[in-house]
């Protein structure tokens, strides 16, 4: 199977929009993207509602619904986009997501009949603020980068970095959804118990090894009933879309608390998502073959399908940048810490969905998976400071001469993501950006 089966007119790279900013080279939000967010005008008393990005504008979907120019499934979908959270729209399923995407694409295309009416629904992105796109009921964090798992494992077990289950089980744990916030939400350095390897007793205080994790977030659309697993063949029908995800981590708290039940307070103080959900449909041109090394265990049947082999992987570039307080004061631009790609993930999105539900666990609209830190095969592709600084033993030097092992107060971490391939329109994820504030 090739990805042409998943493509339709909305992916046509020749399409351009009457919203001129959408046609600018390297724009994250060309007409082929059409991602969803929850927004309102900055500092206004307006109600939050759903919007779709086009160029440097947001299409206000509530205003569009009230115009009553769409028909059938697209108008039914719009009705669900009038509320602050997208859960009801996400639970409608692929038929409605696609109908709305197709109607938006037609109306935003150069020469569209509805141009004047649609133009009245546009709000400049510079004038809006975002909220979480949906209520995230449950959040599960996976661990799908074998490169991250190996390099982190080496720090604890040099001779045996990967635990024996890694190549069989898409490892995950249940995280805390209440502390997930949208880009721009700064947070205080957490406090907690830590214990230095040489100390006889733990101590209490602000985290000293604060880190980021470069992940992608995967949003579930329509869920499944308790007791009714989702097969790998149907898994992608349940995936609404993806965002960028920074899973902030307190390594010193983690090191002391994580055994035997896994991370707890080292992860639940803050996590940050990018405002825009790029739909799984928009990502179709960037699907790629997924392989498993012949020397490795092959997936069990419930984690195996031809479509997953042919198209399970996703060519999604990921980038992490830092802006320190000193850089901000000097008016310097953020600098890159690393770049990686989601195509290097050991497990696919479909495998995560199939595995999560194989025991009968029910997923619900708005549930989010973290992919786990996406580190690539090369050291410079590491998705965390833990790896870049070799657990704090090798400080990295920034262009302005500052050094970092872990993050300091005033540091902002910015993550970007984009898909690019010849013969397709480049689409971007926007960014996720948050700054660390001093502990109380
Ligand atoms: Ca994580």
DSSP characters for 32-58?
Answer: TT--EEEEEETT--PPPEEEEEETTEE
Token readout for 338 is: 């690393």
pLDDT band per the 50, 70, 90 thresholds, residue 2: confident
Q: CA quadruple 263, 261, 205, 153: dihedral positive or negative?
A: negative
Alpha carbon distance 354, 145 (integer Å): 18
Average pLDDT over residues 21-27: 97
Cα 113 to ligand 1 centroid, rounded to whole Å: 46
3-state class (DSSP) for residue 440: coil
Q: If you search the block for the tokens 């206004």, which residue do you land on?
A: 44
Identify the CATH number of the domain defined by range 139-437. Answer: 3.90.850.10
Residue bearing the bigger pLDDT, 2 or 43: 43
**Helix or strand or coil: residue 29?**
coil
Residue 350 predicted with pLDDT over 80: yes
- Position 3 scores a pLDDT of 77
Tell me what pLDDT residue 158 has: 81
Is pLDDT of 189 > 90? Answer: yes
* CA 371–ligand 1 middle distance (angstroms): 7
Q: Which two tokens mark 126?
A: 């510079």
| Tally of CB atoms within 10 A around 440 | 7
**Does residue 432 contact residue 184 with C-beta atoms inside 8 Å?**
no
Distance (Å) from CA 178 to ligand 1 centroid: 16
Catalytic residues: 148
How many other CB atoms are there within 10 angstroms of residue 213's CB atom? Answer: 27
CA distance 149 to 375: 9
Q: What's the pLDDT tens digit per position in 389-427?
A: 999 999 999 999 999 999 999 999 999 999 999 999 999
Alpha carbon of 215 to those of 35, 153, 157, 279: distances in Å?
A: 18, 18, 24, 17
Q: How far is the CA of 144 from the centre of ligand 1 (A)?
A: 10
Per-residue pLDDT band at 296 (split at 50, 70, 90): very high
The pLDDT of residue 397: 98
Instruction: Report the distance separating Cα 240 and Cα 89, nearest Å.
Output: 10
Rounded Cα gap, residues 390 and 403, in angstroms: 14
Report the share of the chain in percent with pLDDT over 90: 95
CA distance 111 to 118: 12
Give the mean pLDDT of 152-176.
91
pLDDT, tens digit, for every residue of 40-51? 999 999 999 999
CA of 275 to the centre of ligand 1 (A): 19
Helix, coil or strand: residue 96: helix
Task: Judge contact between 397 and 423, C-beta under 8 A.
Answer: no
The pLDDT value given to residue 332: 98
pLDDT of residue 232: 98
Mean pLDDT to the nearest integer, 320-326: 98
What pLDDT was estimated at residue 125?
A: 98
With cut-offs at 50, 70 and 90, classify the pLDDT of residue 143: very high
Domain boundaries, the chain: 3-131, 139-437
Q: Please provide residue 431's backbone torsions phi and psi, each rounded to the nearest 5 degrees.
A: -150, 160
Tell me how far apart the alpha carbons of residues 310 and 216 are, in angstroms, rounded to a whole number: 21
For the segment 64-73, the average pLDDT, to the nearest whole number, is 98
- The pLDDT assigned to 200 comes to 95
Which residue is associated with the tokens 């902002």? 412
Residues, the chain, total? 440
C-alpha 232 to ligand 1 mean position (Å):
23
| pLDDT at residue 142, rounded to an integer | 98
Asked if residues 304 and 298 have their Cβ atoms less than 8 Å apart, the reply is yes
Nearest to 378 by CA among 405, 340, 345: 340
What pLDDT shows up at residue 303?
A: 98
- In degrees, to the nearest 5, what angle opens at C-alpha 40 toward C-alphas 134 and 131? 30
Q: What percent of the chain clears pLDDT 70, i.e. is strictly above it? A: 100
Q: From CA 301, how far away is CA 232, in angstroms rounded?
A: 9
Alpha carbons 232 and 325: distance in angstroms, whole number? 46
Which residues are bridge partners to 214 per DSSP?
A: 246
Expressed in angstroms and rounded, the spacing between residue 99 Cα and the centre of ligand 1 is 34
Rounded to the nearest angstrom, the distance between the alpha carbon of 339 and the centre of ligand 1 is 17
Strand stretches in 55-113, DSSP E: 57-60
C-alpha 173 to ligand 1 mean position (Å): 9
Q: What's the token pair of residue 173?
A: 């744990």
* Per-chain mean pLDDT for the chain: 97
What is the C-alpha separation between 8 and 159, in angstroms, rounded? 49
Q: Binning pLDDT at 50, 70 and 90, where does residue 150 land?
A: very high
CATH class of the region 3-131: mainly beta
Task: Give the pLDDT band of residue 285 (cuts 50, 70, 90).
Answer: very high
pLDDT at 254 over 90: yes
Residue 318 CA to residue 383 CA, distance in Å, equals 9
Q: Which secondary structure element, helix H or strand E, spans residue 288, and what is its range?
A: strand 287-288
């Amino acid at each position: 199977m090739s990805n042409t089966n998943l493509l339709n007119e909305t992916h046509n790279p020749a399409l351009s929009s009457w919203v001129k900013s959408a046609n600018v080279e390297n724009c994250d939000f060309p007409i082929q993207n059409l991602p969803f967010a929850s927004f309102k005008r900055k500092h206004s008393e307006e109600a939050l509602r759903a919007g779709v990005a086009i160029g440097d504008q947001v299409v206000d979907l509530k205003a569009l619904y009230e115009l009553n120019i769409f028909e059938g499934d697209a108008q039914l979908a719009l009705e669900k986009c009038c509320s602050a959270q997208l859960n009801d729209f996400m639970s409608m399923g692929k038929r409605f997501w696609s109908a709305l995407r197709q109607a938006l694409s037609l109306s935003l295309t150069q020469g569209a009949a509805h141009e004047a009416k649609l133009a009245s629904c546009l709000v400049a992105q510079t004038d809006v603020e975002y909220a979480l796109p949906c209520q995230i009921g449950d959040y599960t964090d996976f661990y799908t980068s074998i490169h991250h798992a190996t390099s982190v494992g080496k720090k604890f077990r040099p001779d045996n970095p990967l635990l024996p289950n890694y190549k069989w089980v898409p490892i995950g744990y249940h995280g805390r959804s209440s502390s997930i916030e949208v880009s721009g939400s700064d947070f205080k350095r957490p406090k907690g118990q830590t214990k230095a390897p040489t100390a006889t007793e733990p101590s209490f205080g602000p985290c000293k090894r604060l880190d980021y994790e470069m992940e992608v977030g995967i949003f579930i659309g329509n869920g499944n009933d308790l007791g009714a697993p989702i097969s790998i063949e149907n898994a992608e029908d349940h995936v609404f879309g993806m965002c960028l995800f920074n899973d902030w981590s307190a390594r010193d708290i983690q090191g002391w608390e994580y055994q035997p039940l896994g991370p707890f307070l080292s992860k639940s103080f803050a996590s940050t998502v990018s405002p825009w959900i790029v739909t799984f449909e928009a990502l179709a041109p960037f699907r790629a073959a997924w392989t498993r090394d012949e020397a490795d265990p092959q997936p069990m049947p419930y984690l195996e399908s031809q479509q997953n082999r042919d198209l399970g992987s996703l060519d999604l570039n990921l980038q992490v940048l830092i802006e320190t307080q000193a850089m901000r004061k000097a008016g310097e631009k953020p600098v890159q810490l690393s770049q990686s790609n989601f195509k290097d993930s050991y497990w696919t999105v479909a495998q995560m969905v199939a595995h999560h539900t194989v025991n009968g666990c029910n997923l619900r609209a708005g549930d989010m998976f973290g992919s786990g830190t996406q580190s690539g095969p090369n050291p410079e592709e590491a998705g965390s400071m833990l790896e870049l600084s070799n657990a704090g033993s090798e400080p990295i030097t920034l262009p302005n001469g500052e050094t970092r092992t872990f993050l300091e107060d005033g540091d902002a971490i910015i993550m970007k993501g984009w898909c690019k391939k010849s013969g397709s329109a480049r689409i971007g994820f926007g960014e996720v950006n948050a700054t660390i504030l001093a502990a109380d």
